[in-house]
Amino acid sequence: MSLLEDFVAYLFSSPTTLLGVVALLLTLFLVSKSFTSQEFRREPPGPRPLPLLGNLLQLDLKRPYKTLCELSKKHGSVFTVYFGTNKVVVLAGYKAVKEALVSNAEEFGDRDIAPIFYDLNEGHGILFANGESWKELRRFAITTLKDFGMGKRLSEEKVLEECHHLIQVIEKHEGKPFDTTRPLNHATSNIISAIVYGSRFEYNDPRFKNMVRRANESIRIVGSAPIQLYNMFPRMVGWIKDRQLILKNLAMTVRDVKELIIHLKETLDPHICRGLVDCFLIRKQKEEDSCVMDTHYNENNLIFTVTNLFSAGTDTTATTLRWGLLLMAKYPHIQDQVQEELSRVIGSRQVQVDDRKNLPYTDAVIHETQRLANIVPMAIPHKTSQDVTFQGFFIKKGTTVLPLLTSVLADESEWESPNSFNPSHFLDKEGKCIRRDAFMPFSAGRRACLGESLARMELFLFFTSLLQHFRFTPPPGVTEDELDLTPAVGFTLNPSPHELCAVSRQ
């Protein structure tokens, strides 16, 4: 008999021996596994999780970015936290976020598609998609936006036309208090609509009003505590009211977008692209004619690319402008300096993009508004596309990663006064507007905002045109100190509900 046969015979000689050996093997296996992950594959540290709940009891679900900033003080710039059973690696501070998103762009460049985002797009479009389809559509969107003048003269004209409409709407309030949300959302939405559909909407168009309202409502609710719970335990809490509302909004928006696309299809001239939808339809037809296999130019990708651009392009820019006006009302001495510069350099003529270089103080105020407003505090969740060792820590492929943009925009080692509104952050000794590395409101790397240059142009032209025309003040009976800068709950950070007066200067 061989040694092996002797051993097997011994194993089966009694049930107790067999059980003992199985237990020994199991222990060895578990010890080796934990040894491998903790010693050779040191994972990012973090607070101890509870079974099933993870670190749920420690997280402020309405403002998770706040808890995460607190945790980074104790656990460092790369740490692990469990949202229920979902393991999440958080990156905090300029150095860690830049090293991950820029120096390791490929490894940290996939999108994590949480259950609510899968409900919304089912993996189509740009925002919540990955792989070849995402790559192709992102490239298509960037090229088309550029063709339609993103950041150039053509879109400048569109923004200037919209400034004119916006000013008219605000003038109608005759200096009395009003909520800035709707006019600013309509104005910014019309810029992306003109690029996507080829024409703007009237502000009183009921379909347009509803599309904008639903997009904003859904973005707000996606950041609510019940939706965070749904993302952690989708099977258990799928019935919640907030999710049902988001699904209802989605169904109505898809219906509206389909109608708009049908109209464009009926009037399509294959030689002229009026907007991004036309370009997509023409490309789709070409690929069908030449029997391209696995084409990404299909109906679902069209609908969700359009809804992605519409919502990403509306809420963000309008929210930043609302913060800008609120900050001007709260800090009148800064508004004075902006208006003095505008009067001195521009006078009463229409501002143009080329004027930016001659308006350094105003430019610095816009940058500082974006820094302090911090409207996308955790970026949009990323996911590792492969196993990666980062700052000495092992992070497995498919791990959710949160680049904590708020911790970059308020990084104490990068900004002189991170928590106050201080335009000097962006001014040198000669008063010129300067670039700062840790200015990252659009994120960075492979998934960075693709509308950055359009957004920057809009912010500049809308902000300067409004401040040329109006003086923004708190409503009568409210002092500047009483204007609240606490952000409302939401996926993007809006100012809390408030009203302002816009008093005509002309």
Residues that bind ligand HEM (CB under 6 A): 111, 126-127, 138, 192, 308-309, 312-313, 316-317, 320, 375-376, 379-380, 441-443, 447-451, 454-455
Shortest reach from residue 211's CB to ligand HEM, in Å:
15
When the beta carbons of 124 and 447 are compared against ligand HEM, the nearer one is 447
Shortest reach from residue 161's CB to ligand HEM, in Å:
17
Contact 340, 350 (CB under 8 A): no
Shortest reach from residue 18's CB to ligand HEM, in Å:
53
When the beta carbons of 184 and 312 are compared against ligand HEM, the nearer one is 312
Contact 79, 72 (CB under 8 A): yes
Instruction: List Cβ neighbours of 373 (8 Å cut-off, separation of 6 or more).
Output: 319, 320, 323, 324, 441, 493
Q: Which residue has the tokens 């309202």?
A: 213
Q: What does the alpha-carbon distance between residue 376 and residue 380 come to, in Å, rounded to a whole number?
A: 8
Q: Please report, to the nearest 10 degrees, the dihedral formed by the alpha carbons of residues 149, 317, 408, 410 taken in order.
A: 140
Which position's Cβ is nearest ligand HEM?
Answer: 451
When the beta carbons of 228 and 320 are compared against ligand HEM, the nearer one is 320
Closest to 157 measured CA to CA, from 130, 194, 189, 111: 194
Instruction: List Cβ neighbours of 90 (8 Å cut-off, separation of 6 or more).
Output: 68, 71, 72, 78, 79, 80, 81, 401, 402, 404
Backbone angles phi, psi at 493, to 5 degrees: -95, 105
Beta bridge partners of 80: 89
CA distances from 444 to 20, 130, 450 (A): 55, 17, 10
Shortest reach from residue 126's CB to ligand HEM, in Å:
5
Closest to 359 measured CA to CA, from 371, 340, 345, 343: 345
Shortest reach from residue 136's CB to ligand HEM, in Å:
12
Q: Residue 153, Cβ neighbours under 10 Å: how many?
A: 10
When the beta carbons of 219 and 351 are compared against ligand HEM, the nearer one is 219
- 171-179 long-range Cβ contacts below 8 angstroms, 24+ apart: 171/469, 171/504, 173/501, 173/502, 175/501, 175/502, 175/503, 175/504, 176/501, 177/475, 177/476, 177/499, 177/500, 177/501, 178/499, 178/500, 178/501, 178/502, 179/497, 179/498, 179/499
When the beta carbons of 128 and 470 are compared against ligand HEM, the nearer one is 128
When the beta carbons of 158 and 447 are compared against ligand HEM, the nearer one is 447
The dihedral through the CA atoms of 300, 301, 307, 308 has a sign that is positive
Q: Residue 414, Cβ neighbours under 10 Å: how many?
A: 18
Shortest reach from residue 279's CB to ligand HEM, in Å:
14
Shortest reach from residue 398's CB to ligand HEM, in Å:
17
Q: What does the alpha-carbon distance between residue 200 and residue 142 come to, in Å, rounded to a whole number?
A: 20
CA distances from 350 to 166, 192, 468 (A): 14, 21, 9
When the beta carbons of 434 and 448 are compared against ligand HEM, the nearer one is 448
Q: Residue 476, Cβ neighbours under 10 Å: how many?
A: 8
When the beta carbons of 92 and 312 are compared against ligand HEM, the nearer one is 312
Shortest reach from residue 86's CB to ligand HEM, in Å:
18
Shortest reach from residue 380's CB to ligand HEM, in Å:
4
When the beta carbons of 439 and 474 are compared against ligand HEM, the nearer one is 439
When the beta carbons of 376 and 501 are compared against ligand HEM, the nearer one is 376
Q: What does the alpha-carbon distance between residue 375 and residue 315 come to, in Å, rounded to a whole number?
A: 10
When the beta carbons of 167 and 401 are compared against ligand HEM, the nearer one is 401
Task: Give the DSSP H/E element, type plus range, for residue 91.
Answer: strand 86-92
Shortest reach from residue 305's CB to ligand HEM, in Å:
8
What tokens were used for 176? Answer: 């009395």
Shortest reach from residue 374's CB to ligand HEM, in Å:
9
